[in-house]
Structure formats: C-alpha cells, structure tokens
Homo-oligomer: A and B are copies of this chain.
Amino acid sequence: MALPRLLRVLPRALPALARALHRAVPGVPDFNSFVTRTNTCGELRSAHVGQEVTLYGWVQYQRQGLFLILRDFQGLTQIVIPQDEAHSHVKKLLSSAPVESVVRVTGIVSPRPPGQENPKMPTGDIEVKAETAEILNSSKKLPFELKDFVKKSEALRMQYRYLDLRSFPLQHNLRLRSQVVMRMREFLCNLHGFVDVETPTLFKRTPGGAKEFLVPSREAGKFYSLPQSPQQFKQLLMVGGLDRYFQVARCYRDEGSRPDRQPEFTQIDIEMSFVDQAGIQRLIEGLLQYSWPEERGSITAPFPSMTYEEALADYGTDKPDTRFGMKRYLKKKDLQSLKESAKSQFNQEIVEIICRPDGSLKSLLTKFLGEKQQSELIQVLNMQVDDVVLLAAGEHKQVCSALGSLRLGSADLLEAAGLVLRDPAAFHFLWVVDFPLFLPKEENSTELESAHHPFTAPHPSDAHLLYSDPTKVRSQHYDLVLNGCEVGGGSIRIHSAELQRFVLEKVLKEDSEVLSHLLQALEFGAPPHGGIALGLDRLISLIVDAPSIRDVIAFPKSFRGRDLMGNAPDYVTPEELEPYHIQVSWPLEEKEAKQN
C-alpha cells in the first residue's frame, strides 16, 4: 500500500511527469498539452489505476444515477457517480446532466469490479470514481438522438452538421484525412525537397472557363475569377526556377447541380522541372505508399499501366475498375435487363453467346458459324461451361463504351446476388497513358479541342504528326485510376513558346492573347516540366470507403451547392452590390413575385 499512497501525495506532479514520459514516445501526439485535462476519454487502462485524472467530455448516457459514460474524440470512459453524503453535490450534478452536456470530471482511476469489465471497450477494464465535477455547458434536447443520426435524411444531418461531426465516422474520416495529408507533406517537403507555394485564387477567366465562379471587383465591369486549378501558376513557378512545387490547393468549379461534385474542392497539386512521365509516376507511387494509412493495409508499386486504347478496348472506359476481370464476359443470367439498358443508353444491340454444360454454344450467331469457328471462339474467349459472352458490333468507341457500361451493370447484378466482385478493402491503382492529344469538338467535329488542356505536351514519337494529322497525336497525359475512379491526372507540359503558340493558334484556333503572359514566360528560358493533381476528396473517400465525398469534408455543400447549416448563398441588399457596380437581373417571374 505504500506506493499508491505516495502517488496520491503528488497528484499535481503526475500529469506533468506522465506528459514528459509521453513526449518521449515518437510519433504519438500529446493530446493533453496546454489544457488542464490529464487524459482523453480513450486513454485510460489498468496501468493508470490509482492515478487522479481530470477528463473533459460529453455525456453519452447516464444510468440510474450510478454511472455516466463520458465521450470525447478518442473514446468513452465510465464514470462512477459517488453515492456518499460528502459527494452529494457531485452526485446531483452528474445525475441531472442532460445527454450531450459538456462535463469536467476529476477522480481516481479504479479497476472495474470483477466480472464487470467490458472487453469491447478499450477503456473497459477501468472506471473513474468521480471526486469533483462541473457542468461546463448543459445541452438542450437534441432534435434527434445522436445514434439515430445516420438514419436521418442527409439534409437534416447537414443542417446540424456540428452534431453530425461528433459521430464516429466523421471524426474518423476527418482525422484520417488530416494524417494522410500530413504524411504527403512530409514525403514531398522533408524527403524530396518540394516547396509548398500558395498561389492566388483571385485571378482572371481562362479561355473557355465557363465553369469558373466570378468575383466582382471595385473596378466597374471588371471581375476576378476563382480558378479551377493552379495550372498556370504552377507552370510559371517552374519558369521561375522553383524546381519542385506542391500545394494542397483549393479549387473551384461551378457545375450547377452535377451530383456528388462540390463547388470547392481540394487537390494535391504538384509540378516538377526536368522530369519525364515515368518520374512523375514513381513520385506519386512513392507518395501514396508513404502516406497510405496503416489501417487500410499497404499498396504495392509500381502500379500497372495501360494505354488509353487498351483501356477502351478491354474495359470500355478510360477508368477501368481492375478489381475484377470479366472483360466482357458474364457468368450469370439477368441478360435481358443488360440488353435493354444497352439499347436505351447507347442505342446498341447486344447478342449473347452462352456456353452450354456440354460445351456447345447457344446463340443467335451459331447458325452463321461453322464448327471450327465455334471452337476457335471458345478458345479465344477461354469460355467455360455456363459462361455468357455479350457481343456487340458498331463504331469502335461506342461499342466499347456500351460494353464497358454493361460490364459494370453485370457486376451490380452479380453483387446484388451475393457475389463480392469489388472488395472495398482492395485498392487497385492503374495508370492510364497515351491519351489522344486532341478530340473532335462535340458541337462541330471538324474542329479540334484539347482532350485535357492546351498545355499538354505531345508524345515524342507523335510530335511530327502535329503538323500533318493532329488527330493522330497521342499526348504525354496520364491518369491515375483507383478502383474505377479517376483520382488524379497530369501531363508533361509544352515548354516551347513556339509549339505552345502553334497548338493554341493553328490547331485549337483560339485567341492566344488571353494567355500572352504564359507564352511570354516560355520565351525566357522555361525548363522542361510536368506535373499532376490528385483529387484529395475522392481519394480519401475511397480510402475510407465512404459513399460520398461529402463524408470526408467538414462542411460540404448540398447537391445544389447550398450550405444548409448557414444558409448560403443568400440574398444581399442593393446597397451591398453598389461598390461592385453590379445589379441583379431578376428573372421576370421572380421580379413579379418580389413586387407582390
């Protein structure tokens, strides 16, 4: 009994000692520095028994005036409410504190009585016998119970986002996001000499920047715009000799109401001088391996690579989900709905071929095929008994797209029937390369537009075709695909002013005046350079297997770009618009409604 008594004599020195010891543990942050708590609610174990501790947290629930479960971001701790007369004040406080009130408790860590340990709870071996307590903020009755929150409508959850943030999944997602980004920064900044440079978000419209938000300035008629990416700035930083740049960059895109897009989003934005495509790919593989959260296993590099042509031919998409094979063959029924969706979505007829138990083929096609051709077909497709093959004929890209869509549709059907094809804990990264540099414009196929952006360099082997047949030129663009989602994209850029001007003026027929600063910069010793941007919101949502990117953003906007908690955007007065020399053009009906 001597030691515990000694410990009790020095209760004030202990937290500092514990903290000093704690600090010696590398890689474990000290959550109790600068505050008067000694521990978080997830920390206490049998080793702490006998210590006086001070905890701060929220009342998770309270049982019959005997126990109270205190919660913070790290976990739950059982508090024993004292029942003796001397502590009647503490008892009264703690037994009457409403759920979700904020409480300070100071008490002694004690072992739970034998048989009452809770092995499911990390702190389940101990409880804290409260000696003093304070209600720091009493909570009103919540609009719903916190544990029912996930069952509520998303609109309600977004309105009370500050309550939703207390839930385990959101705490976990935001903390994991912070840690992954921190590891990325360590890799880039500390290990590889990248410079974190902030670039402006108040800039000007880029050509064709129809999706850029405008910001009125105090100069009449002049507007800033919020850029979709720091593309121009990062290239100019390379011209400025920064050599290696990165930024966790806020970007803006006004897409009206496209689902699961946010008007503001974040990308890991990277640019390097004197680098080639393989250099950027190795960098990103290293970056992702280094920052990959331990709880999600590990990933192996190099990632496989596939050309755009291969991806389209084999998977019918430029972002193949390579977690499952099924390159256009099926192993079950549900053919009718697949054929109907091909018809309705792609106007594409589909013919199926089924391999019967006896190994023969069943299909509309068999009457056109000789026995030799049939057995060749079985061999080429490696058909097994019960396999189903879907065939389509038509223009290459359209057929591929239709079959690619059927492949995903088939996976949906098979998973609905209980098969796991797309394991959310499996991470299949894939580089897709050799994209075309230009595509025919949708509205006028005799004109060309950039497949990605006009700064992308042509593939060296195709550069000569630029002047004769630009549609045949492949680019040095690369996409990074994870489980069928595009999580990044980049390219080696054009560093020759002459070539850049040719692409803008002769191929794309654009007015290069608006990019004159960039063209000029390329004339004054621009180094060869390239880069990439990773979509952070999407990447993190895949890592934590969240259904939406809204689940990895603290305060996301709704589908329609609204903040449902603070009610943004909102009306402003005409006086507030005056300094910006703008006025609202009310659509007629709204105008009338307002006048009434």
Number of copies: 2
Give chain A's interface residue range (CB within 8 Å of chain B): 35 or more
User: Is there an interface contact between A100 and B524, defined as CB atoms closer than 8 Å?
Assistant: yes
Residues of B within 8 A of A239 (CB): 162, 165
Q: A570 is contacted by which of B164, B204, B528 (Cβ under 8 Å)?
A: B204
A221 to B572, CA, bound (A): 7
Q: Interface-forming stretch among A191-199, A329-337, A379-387?
A: A191-199
Report the minimum CB–CB distance from A82 to chain B (whole Å): 23
The reply to whether the CB of A425 lies closer than 8 angstroms to some CB of chain B is no
Interface positions, chain A 45-85, Cβ under 8 Å from B, are: 56, 58, 72-73
Q: A175 is contacted by which of B27, B195, B236, B521 (Cβ under 8 Å)?
A: B195
User: Is there an interface contact between B185 and A219, defined as CB atoms closer than 8 Å?
Assistant: no
Residues of B within 8 A of A164 (CB): 240
Q: Interface-forming stretch among A28-36, A320-328, A450-458?
A: A28-36
User: Is there an interface contact between B582 and A584, defined as CB atoms closer than 8 Å?
Assistant: yes
Interface positions, chain A 195-221, Cβ under 8 Å from B, are: 195-205, 210, 213-221
The reply to whether the CB of A408 lies closer than 8 angstroms to some CB of chain B is no
A29 to B193, CA, bound (A): 5
Contacts A190-B182, A215-B215; A584 near B581 (Cβ below 8 A): yes
User: Is there an interface contact between B185 and A236, defined as CB atoms closer than 8 Å?
Assistant: no
The reply to whether the CB of A502 lies closer than 8 angstroms to some CB of chain B is no
Contacts A102-B525, A554-B197; A254 near B221 (Cβ below 8 A): no
A156 to B246, CA, bound (A): 27
Residues of B within 8 A of A118 (CB): none
Bits for A99-121, please: 1 = Cβ < 8 Å to B, else 0. 01110100000000000000000
A553 to B242, CA, bound (A): 13
Report the minimum CB–CB distance from A526 to chain B (whole Å): 6
Interface positions, chain A 216-235, Cβ under 8 Å from B, are: 216-226, 232-233
Residues of B within 8 A of A140 (CB): 523-524
Q: A213 is contacted by which of B160, B215, B219, B566 (Cβ under 8 Å)?
A: B215
The reply to whether the CB of A563 lies closer than 8 angstroms to some CB of chain B is yes
Q: Interface-forming stretch among A276-284, A394-402, A438-446?
A: A276-284
A58 to B138, CA, bound (A): 65
User: Is there an interface contact between A570 and B205, defined as CB atoms closer than 8 Å?
Assistant: yes
Residues of B within 8 A of A163 (CB): 240, 524
Contacts A196-B178, A205-B572; A256 near B171 (Cβ below 8 A): no
User: Is there an interface contact between A240 and B166, defined as CB atoms closer than 8 Å?
Assistant: yes
A166 to B238, CA, bound (A): 10
Name the residue on B nearest A278 (C-beta).
B34
Q: A215 is contacted by which of B214, B567, B587 (Cβ under 8 Å)?
A: B214
Report the minimum CB–CB distance from A111 to chain B (whole Å): 27
Residues of B within 8 A of A200 (CB): 264, 555, 557, 563
Q: Interface-forming stretch among A266-274, A412-420, A478-486?
A: A266-274
A577 to B139, CA, bound (A): 46
The reply to whether the CB of A37 lies closer than 8 angstroms to some CB of chain B is yes
A590 to B185, CA, bound (A): 49
Name the residue on B nearest A252 (C-beta).
B202
Name the residue on B nearest A583 (C-beta).
B585
Residues of B within 8 A of A565 (CB): 236, 517
Report the minimum CB–CB distance from A165 to chain B (whole Å): 3
Interface positions, chain A 538-596, Cβ under 8 Å from B, are: 553-555, 557, 561, 563, 565-572, 576-578, 580-587, 590
Name the residue on B nearest A263 (C-beta).
B202
The reply to whether the CB of A507 lies closer than 8 angstroms to some CB of chain B is no
User: Is there an interface contact between B221 and A586, defined as CB atoms closer than 8 Å?
Assistant: yes
26 example contacts (A-B, Cβ-Cβ < 8 A) are as follows A30-B192, A33-B283, A34-B272, A34-B280, A35-B275, A100-B525, A162-B521, A162-B524, A165-B236, A165-B240, A171-B241, A174-B242, A178-B197, A182-B185, A197-B554, A203-B563, A203-B566, A204-B570, A213-B215, A214-B580, A215-B226, A216-B582, A221-B590, A222-B571, A223-B570, A240-B554
Extra contacts, 5 of them, besides A56-B273, A203-B568 (Cβ < 8 A), are A30-B193, A163-B524, A198-B250, A202-B264, A583-B583
